[in-house]
Amino acid sequence: MAASSVAGSAIAALKSDGFSAHSGNLRVAHIHHCSPITGQLRSIQLRHSRISLYGSRSSFASSGVKAQAATVEQASIEVTKTVEGPVVVVTGASRGIGRAIAMSLGKAGCKVLVNYARSSKEAEEVCKEIEACGGQALTFGGDVSKEADVDSMIKTAVDAWGTVDILINNAGITRDALLMRMKTPQWKEVIDLNLTGVYLCTRAAAKIMMKKKKGRIINIASVVGLVGNVGQANYSAAKAGVIGLTKTVAKEYASRNINVNAVAPGFIASDMTAKLGEDIEKKILGTIPLGRYGQPEEIAGLVEFLALNPAASYITGQVLTIDGGMVM
């Protein structure tokens, strides 16, 4: 599909008016919270019975919200400002790992731009689920290997929510073949999306983050980028490139308070691995000490930690493997 047709159809659809809404049937509680993103103590509006912000995972049962609010009010904390959840762009968020990341960050109170290339229905579903948890999300159809689409995607997030605080470079494809059989288009397609796409998104988002002197970028690499894999010369080269890019950008932007890390999953249950077939799966499982594929939600948990947790403020330029012990 032509990039312009994907992005140009203006698939950005704002899904919710979110945290700043004051509609009558919204349950709104004001609490103070120290944001790792802003580093400031501010008030937060909770508009749903189960919501957590910045990884704190505070859950509020429906009746518990009022109790929490009352406790906070009794403590006479000044409630003066409204905190907006961090704005996150997740590429390739319609399915698999990206979907799990978008869901996890949406549930944690972020405003999530859900990017996809073709799966508009699935992307809409992700937005609906985030909304159902009280979050905000919008979809953006676009090919992140194309500069114009990337610029338009970042602009969409900024137009909707004013900024980009967190970028998750997740979109990726495989076009596997042994080197001797690999065609140049197979090589290029993978490099264009899995490496150049990460460069384009990072450059566009970092421009915004550096003005605010804060931000977090998390690149989904792969253990294959560390150790190589038969049949994946294109993919492993791209992922190794992402690791080099991660470290360089971490060094260049550290003075701007932008943390850049890579997560390197092993084999994770998704459409990408489903097409490997049972025989290959059996062989792969034999190489994983924990004896199973990982789940997208397990990757999402690590990404959420890196994106939102205050403890991750001092982590930058790292590659965190999450692979059931495959590479150690």
Ligand X SMILES: NC(=O)c1ccc[n+]([C@@H]2O[C@H](COP(=O)([O-])OP(=O)(O)OC[C@H]3O[C@@H](n4cnc5c(N)ncnc54)[C@H](OP(=O)(O)O)[C@@H]3O)[C@@H](O)[C@H]2O)c1
- Residue 261 in contact with residue 318, Cβ under 8 Å? yes
Q: Is 86 in the site for ligand X (CB under 6 A)?
A: no
DSSP H helical ranges for the chain? 3-8, 62-74, 96-107, 120-132, 147-161, 184-191, 197-212, 224-227, 233-253, 271-274, 278-285, 296-308
In this chain, which stretch among 21-29, 114-122, 129-137, 246-254 interacts with ligand X, using CB under 6 A?
114-122
Helix (H, G, I), strand (E, B) or coil at 195: helix
Helix (H, G, I), strand (E, B) or coil at 280: helix
- Residue 138 in contact with residue 160, Cβ under 8 Å? yes
Cα separation of 49 and 51, whole Å? 6
Residue ranges in 239-278 that form contacts with ligand X under rule CB under 6 A: 265, 267-268, 270-273
- Please state the length of the chain: 328
- Answer yes or no: is 238 a known binding residue: yes
Q: Which of 136, 145, 316, 321 binds ligand X (CB under 6 A)?
A: 145
- Answer yes or no: is 229 a known binding residue: no
Nearer to ligand X, 89 or 250 (CB): 89
Cα separation of 262 and 253, whole Å? 15
In this chain, which stretch among 20-28, 40-48, 64-72, 115-123 interacts with ligand X, using CB under 6 A?
115-123
**Residue 310: CB minimum distance to ligand X, A:** 26
Q: Is 117 in the site for ligand X (CB under 6 A)?
A: yes
Name the one residue in this structure whose structure tokens are 């701007």. 256
- Answer yes or no: is 235 a known binding residue: yes
**Residue 68: CB minimum distance to ligand X, A:** 36
Closest by CA to 15, choosing from 166, 165, 161, 143, is 161
Residue ranges in 2-61 that form contacts with ligand X under rule CB under 6 A: none
In this chain, which stretch among 18-26, 29-37, 38-46, 140-148 interacts with ligand X, using CB under 6 A?
140-148
Q: Is 324 in the site for ligand X (CB under 6 A)?
A: no
Cα separation of 48 and 51, whole Å? 6
Q: How many CB atoms lie within 10 A of CB 177?
A: 15
**Residue 131: CB minimum distance to ligand X, A:** 19
Task: Decide if 293 is catalytic.
Answer: no
- Answer yes or no: is 256 a known binding residue: no
According to DSSP, residue 83 is labeled B
Q: Is 211 in the site for ligand X (CB under 6 A)?
A: no
- Answer yes or no: is 239 a known binding residue: yes
Q: Is 78 in the site for ligand X (CB under 6 A)?
A: no
Out of 54, 116, 199, 235, which one is annotated catalytic?
Answer: 235
- Answer yes or no: is 255 a known binding residue: no
Residues 6+ apart with CB under 8 A from 23: none
Q: Active-site positions?
A: 235
Binding-site annotation: residue ranges for NADP(+)? 92-95, 170, 235-239, 268
Question: Would you tell me which residues interact with ligand X (CB under 6 A)?
Answer: 91-98, 115-119, 122, 143-145, 170-173, 193, 220, 222, 265, 267-268, 270-273
